[in-house]
Structure 1
Amino acid sequence: AAAAPAGPEACALFLARLPTVSRAQCEEAQLTPSGALSAHGVPLFWRDVPAPVGTGAAEAPLRVLIAGAIHGDELTAAALALRWIALAEQAGRPVHWRFIPVLNPDGLLARPATRTNGRGVDLNRNFPTPGWEKDAPLYWDKRTKRDPRRFPGKAPLSEPESQFLHAQMAAFRPHLIVSIHAPYGVLDFDGPLSPPERLGRLWLDQVGIFPGSLGNYGGVHRGMPVVTIELPHALNMPADAEVRSMWRDLLRWMGEHWPEAPGTEPRP
């Protein structure tokens, strides 16, 4: 008999907050606890989709890390990451995918949902970019006028959620990071490769460099390309055809840069 689908614990927590995700889709995603916890003690769930047998990359596949809901009030970001798990299973590509659909469960589960985590920190300003101790507080003070939604924290990697993602960058060593956000409706990119011009209806519009951001830290300073997807709405999902179109365009762009996944190593 087939095993019962994993993931009911994650679905019990998140399903009501995930636009257009059905219970069946949620359970079929088979999210499991990573062992890490949020600031409020909520499990950080993940799902690995290894390279399928016979693709020639069993020993050294391309590694891609996909993270959603770094900002908890961007509900579509979590939903898209979760729905892409099924497409990764069907892709048949020599790729090892690691999905973290809800990096900020405290923010997503808050009522109303919040950009920041359970301790009021913007996780996407909490990564250890060079000069963070000076630049991040100064940017928050002068450029955001101390906007509480963009508080970078008291120190880089002060938060368990950013620590967890940072640890995945070190242990999983992704060749590519895809960070899903909303609601600006553009495509952003940081890193050493030529960026994708579009994913679906999202066109490239590089929005700048921010102290402590994942794109700045991963793409600029670690040499791990970071594709940042900004969906048009935080609450309303794109149509199913668009969900699939963005995925196909991502695969196409990946194929241009990594035509042969085995043996490819990320830049130091």
Structure 2
Amino acid sequence: MRSCHSLFVLLATVFIASRASAAGLCDDFYARLPNVQRSLCEDARLQPNAARSVKGRALYTRDIRPDDARLRVLVIGGIHGDELSSASVALHWIGLAQAAPSQTHWRFIPALNPDGLFSRPSRRVNANGVDLNRNFPTPNWKREAPFYWAKQTRQDPRRWPGKLPLSEPESKFIVEEMQRFKPNLIVSIHAPYGLLDFDGPLAPPVRLGRLYLDQVGIYPGSLGNYGGVHKGMPVVTIELPSALKTPSDAEMQRMWLDLRRWMGERMGPSTTVLAPVPAARK
């Protein structure tokens, strides 16, 4: 009986600590992110993952999983900490996914780079000064990523790829999620170029809301290059028009509906049902 009581106390303590941690995060998001009310974050019911940032901040996720899911989609915001609108849009989309269930298992990571996001001022890079979207292990990374950084960016510190591929806990976490979750699609939200990019084997979406397809190229160490080109996981890269301001609520909903429509056309009825995967790590 005592052991059962101790287990109950432990679980209750973990639950309370998790709720308190999420509440603190929502306070931080409300203070930092554009167009994010505290209630929007609270309704998202984000869960802290076991993974941590360089500075030890939890990486939060949210799964929305119907019983009849046919697709798995990973949505990532805040890879670059100064692209505040990307994390905001991910939070708004969690609400839309909850409001209109579909045959899709959504996994949201609204702020992959919390250290960059909560810096004063916010920074593109993580706490080690690494551009996480140049740190993925694309082929020939050790030759191509440093060369591109030195020659094409003129050693721009905002675009440093790091000393080695996957040198950062945040980029490692995404690769682990790709291996564990096995998404049919990755949606990576960025800013501020106001366009739509795509890498992968499918026919790309022509538009999402007011954003039109304009494939900008392939970069050593980028998620689109790693996931879409070399792993065959289609990657939709959304470049919002502003890093500091979200599109209107109506426009975010149009983008969401266009994404859902394209998924239905390109990934829907003919997609094989994949085997169940474990729930997200808490």
Q: TM-score, normalised by structure 1?
A: 0.93
Please state if 1:34 is matched with 2:43.
Answer: no
Deviation at residue 159 of structure 1 after TM alignment: 0.1
Question: Structure 1 counterpart of 2:57, which letter?
Answer: V
* Distance across 2 between alignment mates of 1:261 and 1:161: 33
- Select the structure of larger CA radius of gyration: 2
Q: Which moved more, 1:26-35 or 1:7-16?
A: 7-16
User: Which of 52, 70, 78 is 2:79 aligned to?
Assistant: 70
Q: What is the TM-score normalised by the length of structure 2?
A: 0.88
Task: Specify the SS of the correspondent of 1:187.
Answer: strand
Aligned to 1:10: 25
Partner of 1:238: 247
User: What one-letter code is carried by the residue in structure 2 that aligns with 1:35?
Assistant: A
Q: Do the aligned partners of 1:197 and 1:204 also contact (CA within 8 Å) in 2?
A: yes
Q: How far apart, CA to CA, are the structure 2 residues paired with 1:264 and 1:209?
A: 30
**Amino-acid identity (%):** 61
The alignment status of 1:22 with 2:63, answered yes or no, reads no
Q: Which amino acid aligns with 1:195?
A: P
For 1:74 and 1:39, locate their aligned partners in 2 and report how far apart those are by CA, in whole Å.
19
The CA distance in 2 between the partners of 1:27 and 1:261, in whole Å, is 36
What is the RMSD computed on CA atoms of the aligned residues?
1.8
Q: 2:235 matched to which residue of 1? A: 226
State the 1:36 CA deviation. Answer: 0.6
* Gaps in structure 2 of 5+ consecutive residues: 1-14, 276-282
Partner of 1:166: 175
Q: Aligned equivalents of 2:145 and 2:81: distance in 1?
A: 21
- Map 1:1-268 → 2, pairs under 5 A: 7-51=22-66, 53=67, 56-57=68-69, 61-260=70-269, 263-264=272-273
> Once the 2 structures are TM-superposed, how far is the Cα of residue 89 of structure 1 from its aligned partner?
1.0
Contact 1:10 1:32 in 2 (8 A): no
Cα deviation per residue 1:67-126 (whole Å; 9 max; x = unaligned)? 001000000000000110011112221100000000000000001100000000000000
Contact 2:29 2:36 in 1 (8 A): no
Q: Is the 8 A contact 2:192 2:242 kept in 1?
A: yes
Work out the CA distance in 2 between the residues paired with 1:232 and 1:265: 35
Give, as a single letter, the amino acid of the residue that structure 1 aligns with 2:162: G
CA separation in 2, counterparts of 1:27 and 1:145? 42
Structure 1: runs of 5+ lacking an equivalent = none
Shift of residue 32, structure 1, vs aligned partner:
1.1
Residue type at the aligned position of 2:23: P
Of 257-266 and 78-87, deviating more is 257-266
In 2, the alpha carbon distance for the partners of 1:11 and 1:223 equals: 35
Q: Is the 8 A contact 1:10 1:31 kept in 2?
A: no
SS of 2:198's partner is strand
- Report the CA distance between 1:9 and its aligned residue: 3.1
Tell me which amino acid in the other structure corresponds to 1:162: S
More helix by share: 2
Determine the C-alpha separation between the residues in 2 that align with 1:48 and 1:262.
20
